[in-house]
């Protein structure tokens, strides 16, 4: 009985952990093929520390800083793996299969946009479970692939509110409509 309770407890813990965390280590091998690679991994404490340093010294205006701070206040963690390659064909769709499989398997993550054009693809996922909200993006372009996970972002609208500042075009993504 005790052993069964322990097993169920462990399963619950592992489920709640796996519901939050997506393992991006399968992407590490791309670094050796890339001409530039960026890796970001920040937990909640590091995000809070980083927020305290935001001074606008490298941002164009206070408006940028305020918008960024508003978004970042909700962040409980940030993961980025971004790779740029010299020429196309240096990574393949199968390199992203592991990440996609994890996101498909996790109950709290749902794909809300899958957009393809000219061999490029971006997929946007959201996690809507209270306490484990988040946004995940897989962007696969000819010579660049990026995976971004922002834990704590509750909706695309929060990201869309950054449009028009920081030199980015204003985005109209927000509540999505079902494709006809």
Partner 1 sequence: MNEGLDDLLTKALARTEAPADFTAKVMVHVNQRRLFMWRTWTAVAATVALIIAGWSGFALYRTRQNEKQLVFAIELASEKIALTDQRLKRSAAEIYMREEDLEKR
Spatial CA neighbour of 20 closest among 147, 134, 153: 134
H-only helix segments in the chain? 2-20, 44-53, 62-72, 97-105, 156-160
Q: Among candidates 163, 150, 85, 92, which has minimal Cα distance to 121? A: 92
Q: Is 62 in the site for partner 1 (CB under 8 A)?
A: no
Comparison of 4 and 178: residue with beta carbon closer to partner 1: 178
10 interacts with partner 1 by CB under 8 A: no
Q: Calculate the dihedral angle through the C-alpha atoms of 94, 132, 105, 29, rounding to the nearest 10 degrees.
A: 20
Please pick, from the candidates 25, 58, 62, 94, the single residue that binds partner 1 as defined by CB under 8 A: 58
Closer to partner 1 by Cβ: residue 30 or 126:
126
> Which is closer to partner 1, CB of 61 or CB of 110?
110
Distance CA 117, CA 128 (A): 28
Given a contact cutoff of 8 angstroms between Cβ atoms, the answer to whether 57 and 24 are in contact is no
- 44-53 and 62-72 helices, crossing angle to 10°: 160
Mask of contacts with partner 1, 97-126, x by CB under 8 A?
A: -------------xxxxxxxx--x-x-x-x
The DSSP output letter for 164 is T
Q: Which of 14, 36, 61, 73 binds partner 1 (CB under 8 A)?
A: 36
Nearer to partner 1, 6 or 114 (CB): 114
Binding site for partner 1 (CB under 8 A): 36, 38, 40, 42, 46-47, 49-54, 58-59, 68, 71-72, 75, 78, 80, 82, 84, 110-117, 120, 122, 124, 126, 128, 135, 137, 139, 146, 148, 150, 155-156, 159-160, 162-163, 166-169, 171-179
């Amino acid at each position: 009985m005790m052993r069964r309770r322990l097993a169920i407890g462990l399963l619950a813990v592992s489920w709640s952990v796996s519901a939050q965390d997506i393992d991006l280590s399968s992407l590490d091998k791309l670094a050796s093929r890339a001409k530039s690679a960026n890796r970001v991994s920040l937990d909640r404490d590091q995000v809070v520390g980083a927020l305290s340093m935001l001074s606008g010294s490298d941002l164009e205006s206070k408006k940028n800083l305020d918008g960024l701070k508003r978004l970042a206040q909700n962040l409980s963690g940030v993961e980025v793996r971004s790779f740029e390659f010299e020429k196309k064909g240096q990574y393949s769709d199968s390199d992203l299969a592991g990440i996609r499989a994890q996101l498909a398997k996790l109950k709290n993550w749902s794909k809300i946009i899958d957009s393809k054009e000219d061999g490029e693809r971006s997929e946007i996922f959201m996690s809507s479970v209270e306490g484990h909200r988040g946004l995940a993006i897989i962007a696969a372009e000819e010579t660049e692939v990026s995976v971004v996970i922002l834990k704590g972002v509750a909706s695309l609208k929060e990201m869309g509110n950054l449009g028009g500042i920081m030199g980015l075009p204003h985005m109209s993504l927000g509540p999505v409509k079902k494709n006809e």
